[in-house]
Amino acid sequence: MASVKLIASSSSQWVGGRRSHHFEQRAGSIRPPVRRVSAAPIRAGSYTEELVQTAKSIASPGRGILAIDESNATCGKRLASIGLDNNEANRQGYRQLLLTTPGLGEYISGSILFEETLYQSTTDGKKFVDCLRDENIMPGIKVDKGLVPLPGSNNESWCQGLDGLASRSAEYYKQGARFAKWRTVVSIPCGPSALAVKEAAWGLARYAAISQDNGLVPIVEPEILLDGDHSIERTLEVAERVWAEVFYYLAQNNVMFEGILLKPSMVTPGAEHKHRASPETVAEFTLKMLKRRVPPSVPGIMFLSGGQSEVEATLNLHAMNQSPNPWHVSFSYARALQNSVLKTWQGRPENVEAAQKALLVRAKANSQAQLGRYTGEDESDEAKKGMFVKGYTY
């Protein structure tokens, strides 16, 4: 009886995130193995179209994000700087000043709120969410629960808040929020360690997937802190490493890139470096990093100011918009939009109108920078003062 030599040729495909192997017996000649790969679809549940439209609305020409999502403790520090007590009435009053500024929607497309603010109303009873909607500004919400020490790291942090995030996000959506923000940090003086970078990237990816599943466009923000005396080349090296890891895990979690926004740090030298970089140099290094790491399907890059002066943040943004980019390159500033406002207001009712005009001045300047038309003329000395605070916490 003739023997028949059985050859096992294999094919494999991805099933439910795992590789499934299939073996077929063949008689006769050997055939090379065939691998069949079917990629899992990128999905964002039932909110796909809405997420894309929300992201496009926020990433609209000449507009950016007003970030007023400081925790109550941090908002208290701002109020203390002008002699006000940290209580709900004062926090409400300050945020009412910001969110009821007439004409704000011409320059601002979204505003990130703290949870307290999302549920608050003006003193006349109008919901803050409705104030924003009337100006065609998307309400957003900070969803992370802050930084805590990361065990096993080099004195680094990780961001908490994934527990219960799905149910909280669903409630925020019902309240009117349409995008979310999660901030984690990476410290160059601390390494950064591989553990800290991986933890930051994984946490951001899980948050982004949960947000999209509940109708919120996630802002992905791994802030590379300005702390340190390192060079701009070192910042570029770390930024490329961090963003490579972030997008790897975003893809692993089936996050739809067309329905996210990024909030990166600009690539600058450390705040304590002996040389400051010009806006042109910051633009060159930052755009180099983005082009190497960020897919063009991402609609918007909304930079954080990170302690730069109001004018410095605007000049750097302007320099990045001197030639076309694959994405909407804009701003998501907190201190760089609010510093002059606070100093003008001083907690006095008679100064509200002047403070709102100060907000419009800064918002318009950054709108012009987004369009590549900022001149820097007539800027005050106050707007040129740096706001970096070593070890700053939100």
Which residues are catalytically annotated? 221, 263
- Verify cis geometry, omega within 30 degrees of 0, for the bond prior to 151: no
| DSSP secondary structure string for all residues of 334-353 | SHHHHHHHHHHHTT-GGGHH
| DSSP secondary structure string for all residues of 111-176 | EEE-HHHHT-B-TTS-BHHHHHHHTT-EEEEE----EEE-TTSSS-EEE---TTHHHHHHHHHHHT
Neighbour count for residue 38 (Cβ, 10 Å): 8
Q: What share of the chain is helix, strand, coil (3-state, %, to 5)?
A: 40, 20, 40
Please give the structure tokens belonging to residue 189.
């003086």
Among residues 286, 276, 187, the alpha carbon closest in space to that of 231 is found at 276
Q: How far is CA 230 from CA 184, 221, 245, in A?
A: 20, 21, 22
Please give the structure tokens belonging to residue 323.
């030639």
CA distance 264 to 258: 17
Indicate the SS3 state at residue 106.
helix
